Homo-oligomer: A and B are copies of this chain.
């Protein structure tokens, strides 16, 4: 089925442009060109620009969450190092979408909120698996370190991730019975 290739090409091109140049700054003509398809085909698959944004974020959520299938905090940050190495560091695309839309676009906002909630729960699970018990306060600290590494890596690169990883090791070590 060629429509699956078309859809994949479209989402990949859209994610790349949204991530590298911003959502609002990326025009649909630029998108059709990058995706190698006519605007008619693009709109048949995407529906609208807003829907495309939501779809891109939903697909990214899957790809991101797949990376979070770990059972220790150190492995969590090792995965983030890998992510930054492979994809570069341009900040959390979900928070960027939230910021660009002012949180006023329901289709986008729903995906962002769902992602952040799933992300938070996954962090709590990883922390619990690592130290052998629930530790909500520690989980919140690890979440902050993760967000901080993601944001700071924009201008500090891998050094930010390494620092977060080292700090997390100290905090987890202290909490382990």
Contacts and interface: CB of A to CB of B under 8 A. Distances in A.
Interface of A: 20-22, 24-25, 90-92, 95-96, 98-102, 104, 113, 116, 120, 137, 140-141, 143-152, 154-156, 159-160, 163-164, 166-167, 170-171, 174
B151 A151 contact: yes
Nearest to A105: B25
Contacts of A137: 163, 166
Determine which residue in A98, A140, A150 has the highest number of CB atoms from chain B within 10 A of its CB, and name it: A140
5 contacts: A22-B99, A96-B96, A120-B156, A144-B167, A145-B145
Contact of A22 (B101, B140, B149, B163): B101
Contacts of A141: 163-164, 166-167
A73 B167 CA distance: 15
Nearest to A164: B144
A44 to B, nearest CB: 26
Contacts of A90: 99
